[in-house]
Amino acid sequence: MTTVGIVVGHARGDLAIPRPYVDAVLAAGGTPLLLPATLGDDERLYRVLGHTEALLLAGGGDIAPERYGAKPTATLHALDRLRDEVETRALRWAMSAGVRVLGICRGAQLMAAATGGRLVQDLPAAGFELHIETEHDRGYAGLRHAVKAEPGSLAERILGGLSEVNSEHHQAVADAGDVLVPSAWSPDGAIEAIEGPDLFGLQWHPEFEYGADRRHLRPFQWLVEGERGVDL
């Protein structure tokens, strides 16, 4: 089974990751390998990465603006600069090794920031209103909106006919940078997916949805087995 490395960041002093990411990798046939952001020096990090065959960059707090050459222009949430650094080094290792990378929400934003892109620091302040839940009774990522993918893109194949996705983010990719290209958008023009060779980033949260609709497992199937493993 494909071993999928997942960098684990900080949450209130603990190392933690939401279980749905791990469960989705398992459901897709992969073996999760949790990589603490406290690994430290490059030698140790790269030695552990050498045991991985794919890399998942999960959701979480905001990316520190200095990662993409910007100053803070909005209130930022749950910054984890150590995680930013470790994930950036892990991404660059994966790109040089030809290892598939899936970025979800914050993970997609990290992929863009690490490859010359930049982010919208606060979507509501920038006029995007469809993306973060304001009604607490819907639960996490309970908001839904339409999505449209570029014809012929990996995003279109991964969506497999899905025309709506869930949402829980107040930041997004503004510029995909030098390596990735945008390949799906919400109705208000916010970038919902970015992709490149062996790289796929999406802004929604399929890890919460695949139990109700198997199509949401496709990003994880792609991560574990490539396109040959995706249920079409």
Q: Which residues belong to the active site?
A: 105, 205, 207
- Identify which of 30, 84, 59 has the alpha carbon closest to the alpha carbon of residue 226: 30
Kindly write down the DSSP assignment for every residue of 66-119, as one continuous string: GGGT----S---S--HHHHHHHHHHHHHHHHHT-EEEEETHHHHHHHHHTT-EE
* Structure token digits, residue 49: 């990465």
List all residues 6 or more positions away from 149 whose beta carbon is below 8 Å from its beta carbon: 155, 156, 159, 183, 184, 193
Tokens standing for residue 224: 């574990």
Quote the CA–CA distance of 35 and 91 in Å, as a whole number: 13
Q: Please give the span between the terminal C-alpha atoms of the chain, in angstroms, as a whole number.
A: 21
